[in-house]
C-alpha cells in the first residue's frame, strides 16, 4: 500500500496495538501530527511538556506491561524528552519514543531545532535509530517495538527526519523481525538451575531477594508459589514492592538504605541469597564488602551484564525469571519447608525487636500516617505513583502493596517530577482504578503544568502532596551529615496549591487534620477531576531506618521505639 512516512508511523503504532500516545507537536514532526488528526486508531494526549509525555508513556507501560509510546519534535522537543528516556532506561521500561528530526539535507548543518538525538540518547536508550531512507522505516518501527519489549526491556528512540515523513512509498508492516546480532536469552541453563536448586536444599538460612525484573517478567505468581512451597522468607527491592503482597507472612519488607530492620539483618546473615531480577544496586547493598557476607549467591537475571557486575556470584543463571522459576518449581518438590523454621524464627524476632514504625501524633499529620491511611481507604484497588524523596520512601515502606504494577516510581534514576505524568499514563491505562500520586512539595512543582493536561482530558488523578515545606530528603541528609546547614532546601515560600489546582481546572484541598484528610480523600475519589491535596505534615520527620550511604546494611539508624510517646522531630 502506498502512503507517506508519517502515515507509516501511525499505521505501525496501530499495528502494535497501542491505544494511547502521549506527545507534543512541533515543526519537524508536523506531518505525523497531520496524520494523527486524520486517523482514529489511537488517541493522542497533549501533555504540556515533552518530559511529561515521556513519563506518561512510561507510567502507561509500567501499569500495563505494554510498550508505551511518546512523540516529540526535534531539538528542544527531543532534549526535553531525554530525562524521560533516562528514567525509563534505568528501570528497564519498554517504551518507543518517536522524535522528529530536521530534513536529511539539513542534518549536520546546525539547522533550526536540529540536535543529534541519537548521539545524545545513546547512553540512555536500549537502542536508537536515525531513519535514513523511507524504505527502512517500516522495518525500523517494527524492530523498535520488538527491541523495547524483548529481553531486558528498555526505551527505544526512533528519530525521523521531516522529509521522510512526507515522502510516499510502499508500506507493509513486517510480521517478524530478524536481527542476527540480537538474541536475548530466555531459558536458563538447566545444569545451573539444578545446581542452584541443590544449593537451596542444602542452605540453612536462604533468602529470596526480589527485584523489579520479577514485575517486568510478570513472574509474581511464580515467585509467590516458590516462596510458599519452600517457606523461604523474602525481601523486596524498591522496584519489586507488591510482588509478594503486604499480607504475605514470608515477606520481611523492603531492604536497602531505607529498608526495615528485619530485611537488612536477613541480608546480612543469610547463607544463600536467591536473587530474582534484582541488580545489587548501591542503594540496596550498602557497603559491598559487608553485603551478604556469609552467603553464596544465586543470581537469576535476563541481562548477563548484571551478573557479577558488583558482587561475585556462585550460581549465575542468565534467563527470564519466569522461565527459570518454572523449571525450578518441580525440582523443589522434595524440599522440606520445616528446614528453615529456625531461620524464620530468628527473623521474626528481629522484626519484633524493630518493626517498621513511626511515632504518630495527635497535633499534626505524620506523613507515614497519611500513607497508611490512604492504604486503608483505597488499599488494593489503587495504583500508587510517586515522585522522588522522603515521600517516596515512606510510600514504599508504609503502603500495603498487594500486587505487582500497583507501585510506580522512578527507582533507578530518581527523577523528581515523574509521579504526576506517570499517574496520567497509569490512569489512562486503567480508568477504573483510583490513581494516587504520592508526592512532596518539592517534586510536584517539577511537572505541575500537567494539571492542565489532566483537567483537559478529564484524567482524575489525586496528587497527595505531603507538604513539609522542605526538600525533605536533602534536608534529612543536611540534618545528619551537614550539621543542620539547610542550604537551599527550605521551601517555606510556596504557591497556594489549592488555588493553583483550581486555576488549572482541577480541585484543591487544604488538609491539616486527620478528619480533613479522610474527608478530602473520600471527596477526591468521587470527583472526576484532577486534584492537589495539600497535606500539611510535620517539618522535621526523617525516613528511618536509614543506612548511611556506603555503610554496611546492618548499621542502621533506627526510629524511636513506638512505646515512648515522644515526638522525634
Whether the CB-CB separation of 276 and 298 falls below 8 Å is answered with no
Q: Which of 1, 39, 43, 112 is catalytic?
A: 112
280 flagged as catalytic: no
Q: What grid cell was written down for 189?
A: 541453563
299 binds another protein (CB under 8 A): no
- Return the beta strands (E) in 43-178 as ranges: 43-46, 68-72, 95-101, 127-130, 155-161, 168-170
Degrees, nearest 5: CA angle 190-293-197: 20
**Interacting residue with another protein among 107, 118, 329, 503 (CB under 8 A):** 118
| Site pattern 17..56 for another protein (x: CB under 8 A) | ----------------------------------------
Among 406, 237, 244, 213, residue whose Cα is nearest residue 323? 213
Gap between the Cα atoms of 269 and 275, Å rounded: 15
Interface region with another protein, contact rule CB under 8 A, candidates 176-184, 482-490, 491-499, 527-535: 176-184
Q: Which of 11, 16, 50, 143 is catalytic?
A: 50
Residue closer to another protein by CB (options 147, 384) is 147
Interface region with another protein, contact rule CB under 8 A, candidates 122-130, 227-235, 366-374, 375-383: 122-130
Residue 98: count other Cβ atoms within 10 Å of its Cβ: 23
**Interacting residue with another protein among 15, 304, 332, 452 (CB under 8 A):** 304
Interface region with another protein, contact rule CB under 8 A, candidates 74-82, 99-107, 179-187, 431-439: 179-187
Q: What grid cell was written down for 452?
A: 492542565
Residue 524: count other Cβ atoms within 10 Å of its Cβ: 22
Residue closer to another protein by CB (options 180, 330) is 180
**Interacting residue with another protein among 17, 41, 170, 179 (CB under 8 A):** 179
Whether the CB-CB separation of 497 and 530 falls below 8 Å is answered with no
Q: How many CA atoms lie within 13 A of 562 on its CB side?
A: 9
> Which residues partner with 436 through β-bridges?
384, 462
Residues 137-156 that bind another protein (CB under 8 A): 147
**Least Å from the CB of residue 78 to another protein:** 16
> Which residues partner with 236 through β-bridges?
210, 254
Residue closer to another protein by CB (options 136, 352) is 136
Interface region with another protein, contact rule CB under 8 A, candidates 49-57, 174-182, 256-264, 400-408: 174-182
**Least Å from the CB of residue 152 to another protein:** 8
SS3 content of the chain, % helix, strand, coil (to 5): 40, 15, 40
**Least Å from the CB of residue 164 to another protein:** 15
Whether the CB-CB separation of 537 and 367 falls below 8 Å is answered with yes
Q: What residues act catalytically? A: 50, 112-113, 162, 473
Binding site for another protein (CB under 8 A): 118-119, 122-123, 126-127, 130, 132, 147, 179-182, 303-305, 308-309, 312
Amino acid at each position: 500500500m502506498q502512503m507517506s512516512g508519517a502515515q507509516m508511523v501511525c499505521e505501525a503504532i496501530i499495528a502494535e496495538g497501542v491505544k494511547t500516545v502521549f506527545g507534543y507537536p512541533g515543526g519537524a514532526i508536523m506531518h505525523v501530527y497531520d496524520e494523527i488528526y486524520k486517523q482514529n486508531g489511537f488517541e493522542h494526549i497533549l501533555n504540556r511538556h515533552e518530559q511529561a509525555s515521556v513519563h506518561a508513556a512510561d507510567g502507561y507501560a509500567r501499569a500495563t506491561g505494554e510498550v508505551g509510546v511518546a512523540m516529540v519534535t526535534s531539538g528542544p522537543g527531543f532534549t526535553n524528552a531525554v530525562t524521560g528516556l533516562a528514567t525509563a532506561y534505568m528501570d528497564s521500561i519498554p517504551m518507543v519514543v518517536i522524535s522528529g528530526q530536521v530534513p536529511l539535507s539539513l542534518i549536520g548543518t546546525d539547522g533550526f531545532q536540529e540536535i543529534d538525538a541519537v548521539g545524545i540518547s545513546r547512553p540512555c536508550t536500549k537502542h536508537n535509530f536515525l531513519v535514513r531512507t523511507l524504505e527502512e522505516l517500516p522495518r525500523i518501527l517494527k524492530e523498535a517495538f520488538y527491541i523495547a519489549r524483548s529481553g531486558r526491556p528498555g526505551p527505544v528512540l526512533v528519530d525521523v527526519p521531516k522529509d521522510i515523513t512526507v515522502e510516499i512509498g510502499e508500506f507493509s508492516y513486517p510480521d517478524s523481525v530478524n536481527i542476527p546480532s540480537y538474541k536475548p536469552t530466555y531459558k536458563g541453563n538447566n545444569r545451573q538451575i539444578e545446581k542452584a536448586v541443590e544449593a537451596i536444599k542444602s542452605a540453612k538460612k536462604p533468602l529470596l531477594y526480589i527485584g523489579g525484573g520479577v514485575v517486568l517478567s510478570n513472574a509474581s505468581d511464580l515467585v509467590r508459589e516458590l516462596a510458599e512451597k519452600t517457606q523461604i522468607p523474602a525481601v523486596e527491592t524498591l522496584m519489586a514492592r507488591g510482588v509478594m503482597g503486604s499480607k504475605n507472612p514470608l515477606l520481611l519488607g523492603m531492604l536497602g538504605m531505607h529498608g526495615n530492620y528485619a530485611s537488612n539483618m536477613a541480608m546480612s546473615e543469610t547463607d544463600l541469597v536467591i536473587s530474582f531480577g534484582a541488580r545489587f544496586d548501591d542503594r540496596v547493598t550498602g557497603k559491598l564488602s559487608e553485603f551478604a557476607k556469609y552467603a553464596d549467591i544465586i543470581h537469576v537475571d535476563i541481562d548477563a551484564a548484571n551478573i557479577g557486575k558488583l558482587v561475585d556470584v556462585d550460581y549465575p543463571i542468565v534467563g527470564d525469571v519466569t522461565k527459570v522459576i518454572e523449571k525450578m518449581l518441580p525440582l523443589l518438590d522434595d524440599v522440606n519447608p520445616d528446614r528453615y523454621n529456625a531461620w524464620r524464627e530468628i527473623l521474626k524476632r528481629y522484626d519484633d525487636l524493630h518493626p517498621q514504625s513511626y511515632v504518630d501524633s495527635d497535633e499534626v499529620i505524620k506523613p507515614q500516617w497519611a500513607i497508611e491511611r490512604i492504604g486503608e481507604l483505597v488499599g488494593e484497588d489503587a495504583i500508587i505513583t510517586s515522585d522522588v524523596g522522603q515521600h517516596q520512601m515512606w510510600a514504599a515502606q508504609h503502603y500495603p502493596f498487594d500486587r505487582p504494577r500497583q507501585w510506580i516510581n522512578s527507582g533507578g534514576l530518581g527523577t523528581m517530577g515523574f509521579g504526576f505524568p506517570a499517574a496520567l499514563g497509569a490512569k489512562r491505562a486503567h480508568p477504573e482504578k483510583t490513581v494516587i500520586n504520592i508526592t512532596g512539595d518539592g517534586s510536584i512543582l517539577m511537572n505541575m503544568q500537567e494539571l492542565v493536561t489532566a483537567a483537559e482530558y478529564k484524567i482524575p488523578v489525586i496528587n497527595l502532596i505531603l507538604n513539609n515545606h522542605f526538600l525533605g530528603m536533602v534536608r534529612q541528609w543536611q540534618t545528619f551529615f551537614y550539621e543542620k546547614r539547610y542550604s537551599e532546601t527550605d521551601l517555606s515560600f510556596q504557591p497556594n496549591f489549592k488555588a493553583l489546582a483550581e486555576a488549572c481546572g482541577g480541585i484543591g484541598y487544604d488538609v491539616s487534620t486527620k478528619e480533613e484528610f479522610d474527608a478530602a480523600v473520600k471527596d477526591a475519589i468521587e470527583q472526576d477531576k484532577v486534584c492537589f491535596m495539600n497535606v500539611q505534615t510535620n517539618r522535621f520527620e526523617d525516613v528511618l531506618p536509614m543506612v548511611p550511604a556506603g555503610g554496611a546494611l546492618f548499621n542502621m539508624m533506627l526510629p524511636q521505639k513506638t512505646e515512648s510517646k515522644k515526638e522525634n522531630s
